[in-house]
């Protein structure tokens, strides 16, 4: 009984850790995406100024 409970608790803890890691990865990818978009819009603006 105790061993099964411990195994269940261990897997639950692993799941929580995975969720935390997933959230961090998601937040990081969102940040990178916004960063890339900002650079892209800036480059377009510079390119627009250069072409006129």
pLDDT at residue 18, as a whole number: 95
Distance, CA of 52 to CA of 39 (rounded, Å): 20
Distance, CA of 32 to CA of 35 (rounded, Å): 5
Provide the residue-wise pLDDT of the chain in tens; the chain has 52 residues.
Answer: 688 888 899 999 999 999 999 999 999 999 999 999 999 998 888 888 765 5
pLDDT at residue 51, as a whole number: 59
Q: Total structural domains in the chain?
A: 1
Q: Which of 31, 25, 51 is nearest to 39 (CA)?
A: 31
Domain that holds residue 49: 1-52
pLDDT at residue 35, as a whole number: 92
pLDDT at residue 2, as a whole number: 82
Quote the pTM value: 0.56
- Give the three-class secondary structure for 36: helix
- Give the three-class secondary structure for 1: coil
């Amino acid at each position: 009984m105790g061993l099964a409970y411990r195994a269940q608790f261990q897997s639950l803890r692993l799941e929580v850790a995975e969720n935390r890691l997933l959230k961090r990865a998601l937040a990081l990818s969102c940040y990178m995406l916004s960063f890339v978009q900002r650079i892209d819009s800036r480059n377009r603006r510079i390119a627009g100024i250069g072409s006129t």
